[in-house]
Amino acid sequence: MSTSSLLVVGSVAFDTVETRAGKRNEVLGGAASYVSVASSFLTPAPVRLVGVVGTDFPEAHTKFLESHRVDLAGLERVEGRTFRWAGVYAKDFSTRTTLDTQLNVFQDFRPKLPPAWKDSEYVFLANIDPALQLNVLEQTAKPKFVACDTMNFWIEGKRADLLRLLPRVDMLMLNDEEARLLSGEANLPAAARAIRGMGPKSVVIKRGDAGALLFHEGGVFAAPAFPIENVVDPTGAGDSFAGGFMGWMVREGNVTPATIRTAMILGSVLASFSVEDFSLDRFRKLDLTQIRERFLAFADLVHFEKIKL
Amino acid sequence: MSTSSLLVVGSVAFDTVETRAGKRNEVLGGAASYVSVASSFLTPAPVRLVGVVGTDFPEAHTKFLESHRVDLAGLERVEGRTFRWAGVYAKDFSTRTTLDTQLNVFQDFRPKLPPAWKDSEYVFLANIDPALQLNVLEQTAKPKFVACDTMNFWIEGKRADLLRLLPRVDMLMLNDEEARLLSGEANLPAAARAIRGMGPKSVVIKRGDAGALLFHEGGVFAAPAFPIENVVDPTGAGDSFAGGFMGWMVREGNVTPATIRTAMILGSVLASFSVEDFSLDRFRKLDLTQIRERFLAFADLVHFEKIKL
């Protein structure tokens, strides 16, 4: 186990979410929240969170994050309201509709690393403007492993900045539609090949309940999604995946293909827990024993005998 | 290795197919063709095919099927034209449009088992009218393992017959949309639970390039699809899956959860080859060495270390 440090940069938000399982108003959300807390179950050292909230961000949330050893020295608190998002999922979870987005203090977010964090070895750049993601990297000394997320909005609107960022990251994580949009290829292996040509050594394509695919020098790896019968709220599943993934990378302290494969499974494990409740609530009652059990369940989910033909 | 026999009942057809990779006119198709030939790579004994063709069915096709040890004693040849289907796939393979369906001699297909085949131990009922599928079962003595396919058309139009059939089969294989339609459940584990309640001990839900899920007494098993960059023609992929699956079941001669899991992978292997060329053409140049190599590639595709947490 290494004592390496994980830096997470991204949004902290209030989410208003409605699914077939119910509705929650202004609960804790935001990519950086999910990534930090999900990773915290695995990282040996506190996770370093860089984000911004308004003066309306309650102490209860701060205490919750700190209870998961999330270091908030990089969480700016500025005059104004915290980022708010509201959405509703179709009854079958096949689509979600954004009802409201209020960037508020997130509008002028300029990530600033505390000086002591410039040595961070592992960096996760959650989905923000690629120019800001690049700026974060310029504030770091020499990270060992950098992964980033992005979205349609940046692929279409800030493509040049994104293409400047990609050669600087080790891994791009994105969903299947984003991979197709970025690459212009409908076929996922072809899309991954094209994206790796843009710079990242590794590409992870997230496919929701169809799992995730890793394309890298170690070949292709397919991580299934855990079949969950009672999905409550898929919000943050992709970020929880990233959290579990990065948490394992930091814990192992190396970037070998074998470690990356195991990290894919731990990402899937954390994502599978995340959807079982609203907001980050499933993480409030999660422990390492449950994570261990589900890891073994993943191993069983894909197990077959290596027969002779 | 057992010497059990596999009986396959279904369509033999001429397909006219257009994909981004090209167009083929009136090439060999039909579910029973794909299932039989795919399974023939694994079965110890000749595969027994029950179907119907017209007087226009060429000797070249008969010879091709026989070259794969497909026993055609149950392939009726009647006055008239063979079943024809024509379709075109979207450039990204996300949808396909049927341009023409001419049932021809298949319209009056009444499957009739040669007397010597009534002892068939393994039975695959490809997608035909569930009343006919049931009739085939009534012609068999006491099969050890029966699997069947179905489609939207029968789920909506012949639901009562389908519900009479399901308690008589060991396994239902269908795609995700069909599973949702049959069960009324959007969530796939919930759909599988509901369908198992209709009779079949096992349910396989096929998800195209997202792989296939098995739900049975041995728990859940996820078989990935092999990432294929140059898909030529997806026609028959599901039937090739069924063929590889049944071929392994017959070869092993038991129906244990471990055998069923391996059969899922061999189904995925045969399906992955099938899409690499039009019609059954990929099978014309396929051999056991290639099957063995891709089986190992599947093992690598999902391999991760069983770490201690």
Question: What is the interface pTM, i.e. ipTM, of the complex?
Answer: 0.93
Closest residue, chain B, to A193 (C-alpha): B229
A116 and chain B: CB distance < 8 Å anywhere? Answer: no
Q: Show the 3-state SS of chain B.
A: CCCCCEEEECCCEEEEEEECCEEEEEEEECHHHHHHHHHHCCCCCCEEEEEEEECCCCHHHHHHHHHCCEEEEEEEEECCCCCEEEEEECCCCCCEEEEEEECHHHHHCCCCCCHHHCCCCEEEECCCCHHHHHHHHHHCCCCCEEEEECCHHHHHHCHHHHHHHHHHCCEEEEEHHHHHHHHCCCCHHHHHHHHHCCCCCEEEEECHHHCEEEEECCEEEEECCCCCCCCCCCCCHHHHHHHHHHHHHHHHCCCCHHHHHHHHHHHHHHHHHHCCCCCCHHHHCCCHHHHHHHHHHHHHHCCCCCCCC
Q: Which of B177, B187, B196, B213 is best to mutate for the A interface (most A CBs within 10 A)?
A: B187
Phi-psi sector, B267: left (phi>0), alpha (psi -120 to 50), beta: alpha
B301 and chain A: CB distance < 8 Å anywhere? Answer: yes
CB-CB neighbors (< 8 A) of A272 in chain B: none
Write out the two tokens for A107. Answer: 């509008």
pLDDT value at position B3? 65
Pairing of strands B122-125, B96-102: unpaired
**Cβ–Cβ < 8 Å for A141, A118:** yes
Indicate the pLDDT class of residue B4, thresholds 50, 70 and 90: confident
pLDDT value at position B309? 86
Place of tokens 């309650």: A58
Interface of A with B in 128-187 (CB under 8 A): 180, 186-187
The rounded distance, in Å, linking the Cα atoms of B41 and B23 is 27
Q: Look up the pTM and report it.
A: 0.95
Q: What is the mean pLDDT of residues B55-67?
A: 98
Contacts of A172 (CB under 8 A, 6+ apart): A147, A148, A149, A150, A166, A195, A200, A202, A203, A204
pLDDT value at position B203? 98
- Cβ contact B304–A264 (<8 Å): yes
| pLDDT higher than threshold 70 for residue B30 | yes
B21 and chain A: CB distance < 8 Å anywhere? Answer: no
Write out the two tokens for A46. Answer: 């506190």
Please name the member of A211, A229, A295 whose beta carbon is closest to the beta carbon of B190: A229
Please name the member of A91, A295, A307 whose beta carbon is closest to the beta carbon of B262: A307
Residue B36 dihedral angles phi and psi, to the nearest 5° = -65, -50
CB-CB neighbors (< 8 A) of A210 in chain B: 207, 210-211
- Cβ contact A295–B305 (<8 Å): no
- Cβ contact A187–B231 (<8 Å): yes
pLDDT value at position B76? 98
Closest residue, chain A, to B293 (C-alpha): A309
Question: For the purposes of burial, counting CB atoms within 10 Å of the CB of B137, is it exposed (0-12), middle (13-18) or buried (19 or more)?
Answer: middle
Q: What is the mean pLDDT of residues B56-84?
A: 98
State chain B's mean pLDDT as an integer. Answer: 96
Place of tokens 């197919």: B17
CB-CB neighbors (< 8 A) of B261 in chain A: 303-305
- Cβ contact B265–A304 (<8 Å): yes
The rounded distance, in Å, linking the Cα atoms of B98 and B116 is 38
* Å between B91 CA and nearest CA of chain A: 8
pLDDT by 10s per residue, chain A, length 309: 556 899 999 999 999 999 999 999 999 999 999 999 999 999 999 999 999 999 999 999 999 999 999 999 999 999 999 999 999 999 989 899 999 999 999 999 999 999 999 999 999 999 999 999 999 999 999 999 999 999 999 999 999 999 999 999 999 999 999 999 999 999 999 999 999 999 999 999 999 999 999 999 889 999 999 999 999 999 999 999 999 999 999 999 999 999 999 999 999 999 999 999 999 999 999 999 999 999 999 999 999 998 888
pLDDT tens for B243-297 read 999 999 999 999 999 999 999 999 999 999 999 999 999 999 999 999 999 999 9
Residue B104 dihedral angles phi and psi, to the nearest 5° = 50, -130
Taking one residue from A and the other from B, the number of pairs with CB-CB distance under 8 angstroms is 108
Pairing of strands A212-216, A145-149: unpaired
**Cβ–Cβ < 8 Å for A44, A56:** no
C-alpha A221, offset from chain centre? 18
Active site residue B56: no
C-alpha B197, offset from chain centre? 23
Closest residue, chain B, to A232 (C-alpha): B187
CB-CB neighbors (< 8 A) of B222 in chain A: 211, 224, 227, 301-302
B23 and chain A: CB distance < 8 Å anywhere? Answer: no
Write out the two tokens for B273. Answer: 């080859």
